[in-house]
Structure 1
Amino acid sequence: EYFHNWTGNRITCRDWFQLCLKEGLTVFRDQQFSSDQRGAGVKRIEDVIRLRATQFREDASPLAHPVRPEEYIEINNFYTATVYEKGAEVIGMLRRIVGPETYARALDLYFDRHDGQACTIEDWLRVFEDASGRDLTQFARWYSQAGTPHVTARETWEGGRFTLALAQSTPPTAGQPRKAPLLIPVACALLDPETGAPLAEAVLELARGRQDFTWDLPARPVVSLLRGFSAPVILTGPTGGNGGAFLLAHETDPFSKWQAGRSLALGILAATSADPRLAPDPDYLAALARVAEDPALAPDYRALLLDLPSLEEAIAHLAESGRLPDPLALHHARRRLEAAIADALGPRLRRLYDAHGLDGPYSPDAAAAGHRALRGRALALITARDPEAALAAAHFAGADNMTERMAALSLLVGRNRAEVALAEFRAAWRDDRLVLDKWFAVQAAHSPPETAVATVEALTRDPDFDWRNPNRFRALIGTFANANLAAFHAAGGAGYRLLADWLIRLDPINPQTTARLTSAFATWRSFDAGRQALIRGELQRLGARPALSRDTGEMVERLLREADG
């Protein structure tokens, strides 16, 4: 609220179409503050995970729209991840392009010039042009063009000269079949192939459809691109395979090191979901073993490095490459990879688990939270090789804080070993509505895909399930549809029917929540023809309701609308 007071209230937006002016800037300033308080590297990764899970998903669906939308039917549908999270990313790119010192001067000028006014994006960009002397006409396209840009990188090495060719394209979206080139800042490092030391570092400005960048170097480097996630794009880079394992082991940029492991894991999940006989890349497993106990890496950062991509990320990865994702096959591939990592780390896992337990009273500070995160990740990997989930049960029983208790409970639910723990949790927190929401949500998110629909249906008949309470509804129905994707997308469409049935029931009394939860269907064109037909049928059933709200009607219409081009 403090940040919103300055960049949402003191300087506000002239009209609804400028909403990203105040919301994007306020989100960015809050992110910067949290980075200073909790650690910039981990915060940046957490922000990117959120962006990809919400905003990239929006861009890949019929719901895609510019950061500054050009039209709306119901204003409640205007509060989107594109306006907020991508709006913040655009601010971050602007800061990177002009530099932090110029950014600070421009922000001071913005407050001096516009305090107490209602402004536009043009007012915002003009102060940066005045402070930096740069023409930002091309950069302004980030506000008007929808969709996530794709950047491809290719490299050549000849006679001591290294050339990096970058190309950009943005897929067509509704109403925008053709896209103009954007100004994309690509933070880059060329690393020594033996030591990982930087041979060169730069922020490359990709402003055309294709550009070549060249360096004269003593050795062919390993390329690290998009360091710090310098732009909200999908990158196809040259450092797959062993290059990715090298970056995971040697890269010093926190985001790029994490992304290298993430990309390798996504490749493994894609391959092993199609052929379960394939073994994970041993270089990837060896690199994880090295970072697991690296004392130079903060515990919360190591927890992120040891984590795996979500099922949603794996589905998006396959869809982006033109392959049809099988959510259940990906779920099982993820379980197998987790078990393989547990085998590769071996006794290290128990050492990590024991070393990061904390004595004394609970503390919410960043250091203590980091220890809990790494201990929880070690527990998850141990449980991957423990069908009885014995350590998870002991961890739940001994936990003195909600973070550790929920971490253990989610593992127990996922292994069908949670009956006792769920009963204890409910008995302890039955009078706290917000905590009881967690009891519903953990079962919706982590119940095995074979039984999740039946579990959720049973929970809708629970006396504590008040579907008129939006928090309770989101905790159960929303969590199931958005977090338990193997079950939601199960063959036969039972998950789709469950969601549509409840949205039909909810819409007359809470159209805003109903409209937002229809976005669980947003990526329906990513799947096979059978699933597409099932989802389309549920959307048509929802849209055919005679008294459907404007909120939900707009969302259903957009989801069913074919993208132009």
Structure 2
Amino acid sequence: MNQTIFRDAYRPYPYHIPHLWLRFDLGLAKTTVRSRFTVQTEQPGTPLCLDGEDIQLLGIWVDGQPLKPEQYDLDHHALRIPLTQASHQIEIESICEPAKNTTLMGLYQSGQQLFTQCEAEGFRRITWFADRPDVLSRYTVELVGDKSQFPYLLSNGNLIEQEDLANNQHRALWEDPFAKPSYLFAIVAGDFDCREQVIQTQSGRSVTLQLYSDKGDYDKTEWAMQSLIQALRWDEQRFGLELDLDRYMVVSAADFNMGAMENKGLNVFNAAYVLAQPETTTDQSYQDIEAVIGHEYFHNWTGNRVTCRDWFQLSLKEGLTVFREQAFSADRMAHGLTGAAALSAQAVKRIDDVSLLRLAQFPEDAGPMAHPIRPNSYEEISNFYTATIYEKGAEIIRMFHTLLGETGFQAALRTYFDRFDGQAITCDDFMQVMDEQYQAQFPGLTLAAFRGWYEQAGTPKVSVHLHYDAAQQRACLTLTQQNPPVGIELLEQPIRPKAPLLIPFKLGFLQPNGTPLVVEHEGQRQHEFLLRLDQEQQQFHFEQVSARPILSLLRDFSAPIQVDYTYSTSDLMTLAKADDNAFARWQAIQELAQQTLCAPSATQADLQVLITVWEQLLQDKQLSPAYLSRALALPSVRQLLAQQRPMDPHALTQKHRHIEQQLAQHFQQTWLTLYQQLTQRLPTQYRPCASDAGLRALRNLVLKQLVLAQHPDAFALAQEQYQKANNMTDQWGAFNVLVHYAPPALRQQQLLQFYEQWQHNALVIDRWFGVQATAPYFDVAQAQALSQHPAFHLRNPNRARALIFQFCTHNITAIHTEAGYDFWQQQVLALDALNPEIAARLCRVFDNWAQYVEPLRSQLKQRLQSIAAHQPLSTNVSEIVRKALTIE
């Protein structure tokens, strides 16, 4: 039976460990680790309990005296040492086996190199220690290894000394000047290319930035280095935060469970978020690299200098850092632009962030694993590295920013760092600082009702009712919020009632002709307001409303909620044509598309509405290509399924394809003209800037529309674009439509040609697997056959995500079959034997099984029951399956 850990059971660790000395004698098959540390306590006689997993204990010394096995207690997960004094020196020697560590947690082998991943509980796979975030120690690390095999020996902090030893061995001594929890510890050993740049911080200090990659990849790391410098400068200018180390290192790893890890001063990255060059990297990957580099760098303050007391507080660091990453990316997308162009670029970033939230987090909030951004319990902490913690957590921080404004939010953060620097704290500590600032700005008001965002799961729904009195020129807006128990909350006995949340609700008023409508509210005359909704139901009154207003609701997505308001089709069309808030305009376009796609039987009149809106968009010369590429794209089947109950994937897919083709055929000549215009506008030299990326994104969308419209020249245009492409974005756009829609002979020819060209580039071949996995014709038999390809390796997370995850998540037609569900079950169990963390993520694909139509619902339940009965089964997968089956 899995052990459940509860937040309210937290107790401080009884020992203080001010300093930890570690020596590693490195080897791929076997690494010997010797640790030495002093423990101090105010509770003499308390046993010292240390965490350890899958490591071999060689010896223990207390105050220099060796302990016999009968003098301590050892099991698979804990080492308990009886102690009698207030202070003792502990030494432990142990062995770990990196080559056998397929979990990629702790110390593991990738290629001929060694890496560590310690968040959340990986350090216990390296040596016995107090592996919890509230134990902060200063680390001194001595690394010893073969000079030929491991010419680079890296760890956190500053390099104190290095020397050659006998027998071709060498050593490096590292010291981190800042106390940190064990999850931020890192070592890397191997042979790399190193890109280095020395820059000056805003205070005038010289700092060395280093980027390590596999031999031969040096020329692919320039963009990552420039992204790191941009992130460093942005954090100085926007938040006044300066790099606190003399050296900052980023290392690229081919095998990595996550995107990257913010280990203090030594970030380990999935190679997909480091390596870039125009020929092999798409615009989206360039943006992703810049964002992830920024994210991990920003963690240096929001996560490292101020860290979590326990893992229930995970969103304390992740939500705040994702918010900072999103702000950084938005500023980078608007770089060099002014006025409406800059606002449009930032709106595109907001659209992308909200689309991800709705696609990944809203379904999570409606499923059996729904949890608050600060959970109350867990069985396996790695299962809670979720879209709720990250993306919804960022929306919570954004609401603080919305309520306080930029100046107030910055003031609150300065207080936060001044008060808590060097400490492991809680979400309550962060909220307290925000509340103090809010009360200072708005006397008589508090953020007390905001605490519910940390305590409640689910996506709140706000119903909106408008009453307009034309004679009095008054409008009354009634907002009602609902957030019934969901997910884990349903397991609580008794089920606790939920208090109303504080929701910042931004709205605007438009005239029937689409121009802004200025009204009066609480002494202010304007057309946009930020309402404070903190009761179950509230009324807001507006005066001098000269016409029945068209409401532009939840502008900029000011809160992570769903809005229930009955728009007329004509009002939505007005918003889609003229709303001066770019996000709200896009939202109106999406709602019109959803109405057509989700109608029981879409009529020609429904389709004509979309045609009219798209015609208006295509005629609007003020819209950027990047914005048009989002506005002219229909919501995906996955997005629509998340809003359908019960979910019928086959019927929805069929309808989506039908309407998509009808729209494409209607605009066939328009697409051809636009494609030609965009081709002429694109510069010949590739630049990964936002403006050029927008042109390429729109051209690739238009190319797909031409193919869907069955234009006689479509495949010829795709082949021409493929052959002439001097960058992966153009090549990939053409390759994608050829693989998905071209006749079999042409498709096979392109697949072979692409593979031959890029077979030695692992990241590009990941894409090659993924494009096939998501093709409309691709079925289970083809998935099984492709999984036997010599280039496919289930152990590599990137390769598994490319084929298995893409097929199970995005190939709606093939996966929702009996054979598809069998394939998913088989892959969950195969991955569980290798890497439980990755297996659990695949298992989450169908934790919402109960929301599907029959017979899919029963078929999925049967597979989940089979997984649950399998032995052995990891804690990671077991928790998800059990909770999924408990909550129907």
Of the candidates 821, 826, 830, which is equivalent to residue 496 of structure 1? 821
Higher mean C-alpha displacement, 539-548 vs 353-362:
353-362
Between structures 1 and 2, the one with greater strand share: 2
1:276: how far off?
6.1
Task: Report how far residue 504 of structure 1 moved.
Answer: 1.4
Match of 2:476 among 163, 182, 185: 163
Give distance in 2, aligned partners of 1:412 and 1:331: 20
The structural deviation recorded for 1:440 is 0.5
Conservation of the 8 A alpha-carbon contact between 1:416 and 1:447:
no
Query: Which residue of the partner structure matches residue 90 of structure 1?
Result: 396
Partner of 1:339: 661
Larger displacement relative to structure 2 (525-534 or 176-185): 176-185
Moved more, 519-528 or 304-313: 519-528
Q: Which residue of 436, 449, 453 corresponds with 1:138?
A: 449
Superimposed CA distance per residue, residues 504-551 of structure 1 (whole angstroms, 9 cap, x where no aligned partner)? 122111111001111110222221131110001111111111101111
Is the CA contact 1:240–1:264 (under 8 Å) kept in the aligned structure 2? no
> Cα RMSD (Å) of the superposition?
1.7
| Residues 206-221 of structure 1 aligned to structure 2 (within 5 Å) | 206-216=533-543, 217-221=545-549
The range that moved more, 162-171 or 332-341, is: 332-341
Displaced runs of 4 or more, over 4 A: 276-279
The whole-number CA distance in structure 2 between the counterparts of 1:276 and 1:293 is: 25
SS where residue 504 of structure 1 aligns? helix
- Partner deviation per Cα, 1:113-144 (whole Å, 9 max, x = no partner): 11111111111111112222142211011001
Contact 1:392-1:412 within 8 A present in 2 as well: yes
Q: CA shift at 1:495, angstroms? A: 1.3
Residues 486-565 of structure 1: matches in 2 within 5 Å? 486-490=813-817, 493-562=818-887
- In terms of mean alpha carbon deviation, does 68-77 or 219-228 score higher? 68-77
In structure 1, what is the Cα distance between the partners aligned to 2:782 and 2:571? 44
Matches within 5 A, 1:151-230: 151-158=462-469, 159=471, 160-173=473-486, 174-176=488-490, 177=495, 178-199=497-518, 200-216=527-543, 217-230=545-558
Once the two structures are superposed, what CA deviation does each residue of 1:206-231 show, in whole Å capped at 9, x if it has no partner?
Answer: 11112222222010011110000111
Choose between structure 1 and 2 for higher RCO, CA contacts under 8 A separated by at least 6 residues. Answer: 1
Distance 1:452 1:407 in 2: 22
Where 2:318 maps in the other structure, the secondary structure is helix
Query: Which sections of structure 2, spanning at least 5 residues, go unmatched?
Result: 1-295, 334-344, 440-444, 519-526
Percent sequence identity over aligned pairs: 40
- Code of the residue aligned with 2:624 in structure 1: it is A
Equivalent residue for 1:369, pick from 688, 693, 711: 693
SS in 1 for 2:371: coil
Distance 1:195 1:241, change over 3 A: closer
Q: After TM superposition, list the pairs within 5 Å mapping 1:18-29 onto structure 2.
A: 18-29=313-324
Residues 320-339 of structure 1 deviation map (CA, whole Å, 9 limit, x = unaligned):
xxxx3321222222222222
Residues 1:254 and 2:582 are matched in the alignment = yes
Measure, in 2, the Cα distance between the counterparts of 1:386 and 1:109. Answer: 60
Task: Decide which of 265, 269, 273 is 2:593's aligned counterpart.
Answer: 265
- The counterpart of 2:617, out of the listed 284, 291, 313, is 291
For 2:635, the equivalent position in structure 1 comes to 309
Deviation of 1:196 after TM superposition, in Å, equals: 2.5
Q: Distance in 2 between matches of 1:291 and 1:257?
A: 11
Shift of 1:25: 0.3
- 1:76-122 per-residue CA deviation (whole Å, 9 max, x = no partner) reads 11211111111100000111112221111111111111111111111
C-alpha deviation, 1:498, in angstroms: 0.8
2:514·2:575 contact (CA, 8 Å) conserved in 1? Answer: no
Change (3 A) 1:113 1:145: same
- Offset at residue 489 of structure 1 (A): 1.8
**Alpha-carbon contact 1:186-1:205 (below 8 Å) kept:** yes
**What do residues 128-183 of structure 1 show as CA deviations (whole Å, max 9, x unaligned)?**
12222142211011001001111111222223222222111113213254322111
CA contact (8 A) 2:318 2:390 kept: yes
Separation of aligned partners in 2, 1:455 and 1:379: 27
Q: Distance in 2 between matches of 1:87 and 1:504?
A: 31
Which position in structure 2 is the counterpart of 1:33? 328
Among 2, 13, 24, the alignment partner of 2:308 is 13
Q: Write the distance in 2 (CA, Å) between the matches of 1:356 and 1:327.
A: 35
Q: Distance in 2 between matches of 1:240 and 1:529?
A: 33
The corresponding residue for 1:379 is 703
State the SS of the aligned residue for 2:394: helix
Q: TM-score, normalised by structure 1?
A: 0.94
1:429 maps to what in 2? 758
Higher Cα Rg, which structure: 2
Question: Amino acid of the residue matched to residue 686 of structure 2?
Answer: Y
- Tell me the secondary structure at the aligned position of residue 304 of structure 2: helix
Equivalent positions of 1:42-53 (< 5 A) are 42-53=348-359
The one-letter code sitting in structure 2 at the alignment partner of 1:175 is E
Q: Match of 2:503, as an amino acid?
A: I
What is the distance in 1 between the residues matched to 2:850 and 2:515? 41
Where is the helix percentage greater, Structure 1 or Structure 2?
A: 1
Q: Give the distance between the partners of 2:371 and 2:878, measured in 1 at CA.
A: 17
Q: Deviations over 1:239-275 (max 9, x none)?
A: 242211111101121111111111111111111xx43
1:282 match: 608
Q: Which residue of 2 aligns with 1:475?
A: 802
In structure 2, C-alpha distance between the alignment counterparts of 1:224 and 1:453, rounded to whole Å: 45
Distance 2:568 2:781 in 1: 41
Match of 2:771 among 424, 432, 442: 442
